Amino acid sequence: MSPLNRLTLRQRLLLWLLLPIVGLIAIWAWATYAIVLYFANLAHDRALEDTVQTLAGQVHIEQNRININLPPAAHRMLEFDQMDTVYFSVSDEHEQQLAGNHKLPPNPESSKTPEKTRFYSDTINGVNLRLAEYVIANEHNRGEIYVRVAETLNKRETLAREILIYVLAAQFLFLTGIVLLVWHGIGRGIAPLSRIRDAIALRTHEDLSPLDETGLPVEVCEQVRVINDLMMRLGRTITTQQRFIADATHQLRTPITVLRTQAELALRADAKDLHTFVIKLAAASARLSRLANQLLNLSRAEAGLTDTTKFTRFGVGEWVEDVVAEYVPAALDKHIEVSVSIADDMPAIRGNRQLLFEMLANLVDNAIRYTQADGKIEIVAQYADESVILIITDNGPGIPEAEREHVLERFYRGVEVSTEGSGLGLAIAQEILKLHGGRLTLAAAPQNTGLCVTVEIPAVTAV
């Protein structure tokens, strides 16, 4: 685990903000130091310029003679400095020293304009100096007289250190203030996250109510909405599972009791009656298996557990024919005529083939179960309004109009229904269609001689 991963969100934000802030402060400090030092050196150069010009004012040229009026008191004053050593010299054009306390190096610049002070740096005996040179034109021999004043850099270096200390101290105080303000500001900024954390931590596993979004920043609100949506879906799934467990417990109790009773009777039966009880046991087992499968399919459809990204595309004709083929033996047992009509050029549909197979199988099974012997069932597949429409019509007893909405509820069976069943077939079909964006409607068959079930599923027309 990297050290960065051990930091809190506040520490990470502070680190990400301080790095550029420290960089900017460093640039600011360097620029401030450079500017102040420039003007400090400029002030020292101006003082050096005054000295060299004062000294140049004491040089007089009379009749080709150079006189330097520099009494001892002026000499001592010129050399006096508590921190630096001051050197001065007056030289002719041949660099012959006419006056001064030390011979000073000439200005390396080739252009030397008279009556103008030039500044440059050089060394004497390894000591760094700052020099000012003033050139006086000798009109008698067309030569030049060089007046130079130099000083060591003690004052300048001391001033540079003092400036650096004060600049760094000010920047340190400034940085400390920024750190405290940023730390406090980040804490205020992420306070809503702590509020959300505490709200979640104080909840029990049964409390899936939405988190309060009042007073939260926009970014945090977006995260809270995602959490609320997750809790809503989780609550719906838990509710579905709890209802499934309750329904399964209730609905499976009777078939399991019957199965156990048949098994006990088979154990006590004589050899000649054993075959009869085994047949009844097998039938009870088949009903129990069908009920369990229906409950599982209903639970999956209601919870939306099918991943829509894994839906496949398949043809309508093959799908309908596969379902009908499975129930042909059951229809033949009751001498029911089943006709299938599939329109040409039917588009494909997209979905979970297994669930859609179960949906259509439930509808066909219901039609066969509730249609009397020698009856008729008609299945028509057609395309209209960008949807695949399946119409399943039988000439059975039908469903009274007052009960058509109720039969779509789980475990509801008609008042006058005597046919064996669980009351789950239509509920499963409706939930599966909802998952696929489809719709299921019930109506009376033509001439009110049965039931007409209409299924609409969105078609896939794009290539």
Instruction: Give the model confidence (pLDDT) of 34-91 as tens digits.
Output: 888 888 888 888 988 888 888 888 888 776 677 777 777 777 777 778 888 889 888 8
Which candidate, 124, 110, 435, places its Cα nearest to that of 303?
Answer: 435
Domain that holds residue 396: 308-460
Whether 453 and 326 share a structural domain: yes
**Rounded CA separation 401/374 (Å):** 25
**Rounded CA separation 300/359 (Å):** 12
Which candidate, 320, 344, 360, 349, places its Cα nearest to that of 455?
Answer: 360
Whether 313 and 278 share a structural domain: no
Q: 2-16, 80-94, 174-188: which has the minimum mean pLDDT? A: 2-16
- Asked if the structure places residue 192 within a domain, the reply is no
Q: Which residues contact 362 (CB under 8 A, 6 or more apart)?
A: 294, 424, 425, 426, 428, 429
**Rounded CA separation 311/438 (Å):** 14
The domain spanning residue 47 has which CATH number?
A: 3.30.450
Whether 312 and 271 share a structural domain: no
pTM passes above 0.85: no
* pLDDT for the residue 255: 67
Q: With cut-offs at 50, 70 and 90, classify the pLDDT of residue 150.
A: very high
List the beta bridge partners of residue 66.
61
Instruction: Give the model confidence (pLDDT) of 423-459 as tens digits.
Output: 677 887 888 888 888 999 999 888 778 899 999 999 9
Whether 241 and 382 share a structural domain: no
Q: What one-character-per-residue DSSP string does 317-329 give?
A: HHHHHHHHHHHHH
Q: What one-character-per-residue DSSP string does 41-68 give?
A: HHHHHHHHHHHHHHHHTTEEEETTEEEE
Which candidate, 283, 288, 456, places its Cα nearest to that of 380?
Answer: 456
Share above pLDDT 90 across residues of the chain, in percent, rounded to a whole number: 13
Whether 312 and 269 share a structural domain: no
- Asked if the structure places residue 173 within a domain, the reply is no
Reply yes or no on whether the pLDDT at 224 is more than 80: yes
Q: With cut-offs at 50, 70 and 90, classify the pLDDT of residue 338.
A: very high
Whether 313 and 455 share a structural domain: yes
CA atoms within 13 A on the CB side of 449: 10
Domain end point (choices 270, 302, 334): 302
Domain tally for the chain? 3
**Rounded CA separation 312/357 (Å):** 13
Whether 43 and 153 share a structural domain: yes
The domain spanning residue 374 has which CATH number?
A: 3.30.565.10
Q: With cut-offs at 50, 70 and 90, classify the pLDDT of residue 301.
A: low
Whether 453 and 365 share a structural domain: yes
Which candidate, 56, 181, 183, places its Cα nearest to that of 117?
Answer: 56
